[in-house]
A and B are shown apart, each in its own frame.
Chain A
Amino acid sequence: MDERRTLYRLAAEMFAPGTELSDNLADHPIVRYEIGRALAGHGGLDPAQLTRVASMSVRDVGVRVASDPSAAEVLEAPLRIVAPPGVRPEPLTEADGERFERALEIVEEGVLLLGKFAPDMAEDLLAHVSMLAVLKRETSGGLVSASSRYVPGIVLIDEPRLPMEVAEALVHEGAHEKFFDLAIAKEFLDVSAEDADYFETSWSHVRWPLEQTFAAWHAYSCLAQFNLSIGAEQCGPDSLLAKARKRADEIGEWLLAHETDLCADARWLLRALVSDTIELTGEVASPSHVDGATLSPHISEDCHFHPLPDVRHKRATTGRVVAGRVASPPEVFWLDEDASWTLCQWRHDRTAKTFGWILARATEEWQVGSAAAAVRLEKALGSLLASSLVEMPDKAH
């Protein structure tokens, strides 16, 4: 979660220098929507707009529920994006009086139920849900629950009748929200995912692209695990819990057959979760199509390096560094430990430094021999050069 916040903070500074996001601003779904649009190359960022949307009031009942009478206006984007065709969902708010209070009670009971049955899962998934909006039943158009990668952090649910409907929706959509967060902070999918095969469901014969397939598999896996915990508790009429294990297995088997289209961390998660129910063959996964080789140019000791002038970076509390450039389109990168350390050598000044100077520091701080440090440093600098985060001024023109 801290890595996700670090990425959004970096992006805010890239587009609006001097902007500092509090945790709650960095988590706010509409703030993330606005920053995501800017990162997608769809315009700039207005810091005043971020503050304005974040002033919308919410009620905290274990999750923060949109309660402000202006919610329909502030949440226009997610409401529009998830709306079934021909439908204009409206959120329940304090303006709806007792009806909103009753929905709020059921949401609170649902959060408690989730925590009672699956406390670890509740803590894990709810950390990725920053806001919940309850839709008026007569306006939801058959929507049971929804989320959008374009407006990450907000879950929308139909007006609930049972706390279990809320608990299940939080597992289902919370799993999607966690996936959205993993996709921006870890190595999950890259642009080649668009060219990968489609998965066709056996139960509805709908075809899903790889990203949606992975998201659905993760949600069904979480629902299947939750289903193990609920005993005889009554589920809602649209519950997927009883079907979740079979569907998770079906999708999981397909993903295993297509795992070379996934990046490293997605493959790790896939194998970690399917190993409970699907027998894995072989100890070592085949090489990924998308984990490319790293450049390791031969570099002499007196070669100079410095970061490009428009490069900014931030370090998360985990130690990982995220770096970005306001290019067209904007570019953001996660750096591994060695590349992070290398880029941070310019945190105090951006003057050119020789490979020999950096290598001497690396040898000392990494506590390895000079030859081993040189190999690691060449790899890190090679990748920083290839990503246009660092340049060699001698070769710039």
Chain B
Amino acid sequence: MTSPNQPSRLPQFPQNAGMPVAHPVPGVGPVIGQPVTPVQWFRRMPTGGTVYVKPAEGSQS
């Protein structure tokens, strides 16, 4: 058992595991932003969630 105050470990996977998937081609940009960018995410903090429910029982995310 661990508690959140102990160091976390991420699972170690063999480097050659899985099927190789092409790395995304970089898009244009990034567009040059502003020197100072406000973090507005918290100002418009809705209390909803991104919920995926069984299709027969509700709308999907």
Also in contact, A267 and B29, with CB within 8 A (given A219-B61, A383-B35): yes
* Interface segment, one of A301-309, A329-337, A353-361: A329-337
Nearest Cβ in chain A — how far from B39, in angstroms?
4
Q: List 12 A-B contacts (CB under 8 A).
A: A24-B8, A40-B42, A56-B3, A81-B48, A115-B18, A120-B18, A238-B54, A238-B55, A276-B25, A335-B37, A336-B37, A383-B36
Give every chain B residue within 8 A of A23 (Cβ-Cβ).
Answer: 7-8
Q: Which residues of the partner chain A approach B17 to less than 8 Å between Cβ atoms?
A: 115-117, 119
User: Once the chains bind, are B59 and A58 in contact (CB under 8 Å)?
Assistant: no
Task: Please name all residues of chain B whose beta carbon is closer than 8 Å to the beta carbon of A172 when the two chains form the complex.
Answer: 52
- Contact residues of A: prevailing secondary structure: mixed
- CB within 8 Å of B: which residues of A? 7, 22-25, 27-28, 36-37, 39-42, 54-60, 62, 64, 67, 78, 81-82, 84, 111-112, 115-120, 122-123, 126-127, 130-131, 141-150, 172-173, 176, 183-184, 187, 189-191, 193-194, 203-204, 206, 212, 215-216, 219, 225, 228-229, 231, 238, 240, 263-265, 267-276, 280, 283-285, 287-288, 291-292, 294, 322-323, 329-336, 338-339, 379-380, 382-384, 386-387, 389
Is the CB–CB distance between B7 and A387 below 8 Å? no
Distance between A20 CB and nearest chain B CB, rounded to angstroms: 13
Q: A119 and B13: CB pair below 8 A?
A: yes
Sample of 4 more A-B contacts, CB < 8 Å, known A143-B54, A184-B39: A212-B61, A240-B60, A323-B36, A387-B36
* Least distance between A80 CB and chain B CB atoms (Å): 9
B57 nearest CB neighbor, chain A only: A142
In angstroms, Cα B35 to Cα A387, docked, is 10
Residues of A within 8 A of B29 (CB): 264, 267-268, 271, 285
Q: Which 4 A-B pairs have the closest CB atoms?
A: A271-B27, A142-B57, A148-B49, A39-B42
A7 and B40 CA atoms in complex are apart in Å by: 13
Q: Among the listed B5, B26, B34, B37, which residue makes an inter-chain contact with A25, where contact means beta carbons less than 8 Å apart?
A: B5
Residue count of chain B within 8 Å CB distance of chain A: 57
CB of B40, distance to nearest CB on chain A (Å): 5
Please tell me if the beta carbons of B1 and A191 are within 8 angstroms of each other in the complex. Answer: no
What 1/0 mask marks residues of chain B from 16 to 47 whose CB sits below 8 Å from any chain A CB? 01110110111111111111111111111111
Kindly state the separation between the CA atoms of A117 and B11 in the bound complex, as whole angstroms. 13
| Total A-B residue contacts, Cβ distance less than 8 Å | 262
Bound complex: CA A306 to CA B51 (Å): 46
Shortest beta-carbon distance, A326 to chain B, in Å?
A: 13
B34–A291 contact, CB under 8 A? yes
A150 close to B48 (CB less than 8 A):
yes
Instruction: From known contacts A150-B46, A204-B60, A272-B25, infer whether A334 and B37 are also in contact, taking CB-CB under 8 Å.
Output: yes
A84: chain B residues within 8 A (beta carbon): 51, 53, 57-58
CB distance from A143 to the nearest CB of B (A): 5
The interface residues of chain B lying within 8 Å CB-to-CB of A54 are 3-5
Complex contacts, A60 vs chain B, CB 8 Å: 2, 8-9
**Which residues from B are CB-within-8-Å of A130?**
4, 8
Tell me if A334 and B39 are in contact (CB < 8 A): yes
A117 and B50 contacting across the interface, CB-CB below 8 Å = no
B46→A149 contact, CB < 8 A: yes
Instruction: Looking at the assembled complex, report how far the CB atom of A75 sits from the nearest CB atom of chain B, in whole angstroms.
Output: 12
Known: A288-B31, A294-B35, A333-B38. A78 touches B18 (CB 8 A): no
Is A335 a contact of B35 with CB atoms below 8 Å? yes
Choose from B10, B32, B52 the contact partner of A146 (Cβ within 8 Å).
B52
Is the Cβ of A25 less than 8 Å from the Cβ of B4?
Answer: yes
Cα A187 to Cα B30 in complex, Å, equals 10
In the complex, the answer to whether A116 meets B4 with C-beta atoms within 8 Å is no
